Amino acid sequence: MPPIGSLSPSTFSLPALTLVIGGARSGKSRLAERLVTATGRPRCYIATAQAFDAEMQARIDQHRTDRGPDWQTLEAPTDIATALAACDPGSAILIDCATLWLSNHLLAGHDLDAAGTTLVQALTTHAAPIVIVSNEVGWGIVPENALARQFRDAQGRLNQQIAARAGSVIGVMAGLPFALKGALPQAAL
């Protein structure tokens, strides 16, 4: 894929909701950034990561540097609905990622089903097109502990809820996008 910065603004149109899903380091965040950038709209980035150590802070800083200064960035470890309300309805929105958002709720002891319902409602009622990134965590072995199994099951349910409402679902493996639902947009290639 060409670097994000090599895309020129276009009249590319996103569906109201796009899910970009794949494994860790598959290229899904980079693809999601390409899709949002290709719209030519102002860009709003909703970040769900929290920096609990220096290594994670370095990752967050690198993501910001890679995106460049042309993104409005909002931190929303758990409250995506409020962050969405702060994004201009004329923008294109990227939420990265549903996996960290869900783990933040799990570790805070929140009701994961209720949080997921609130998230999906917020995603489907916002005026701007939204691209949300999520990890596919169900392809590995069954985790050995209850907390990990609870997370894996909740992530699978959340991914299914988002995919059911998305106009486009794009899988990413080894940096290569493939259409799971809807057509693969030219901006993804």
Q: Give the residue numbers annotated as catalytic, written as ranges.
A: 63
Instruction: Answer left, alpha or beta for residue 112, where phi above 0 means left and psi between -120 and 50 means alpha.
Output: alpha
Average pLDDT over residues 155-179: 97
Tell me which H or E stretch contains 73: strand 71-75
pLDDT beyond 60 at 9: no
Given a contact cutoff of 8 angstroms between Cβ atoms, the answer to whether 22 and 50 are in contact is: no
Q: CA of 110: how far to CAs of 51, 59, 113, 115, in Å?
A: 20, 26, 9, 7
Q: What percent of the chain has pLDDT over 70?
A: 94
What's the confidence (pLDDT) of residue 81?
94
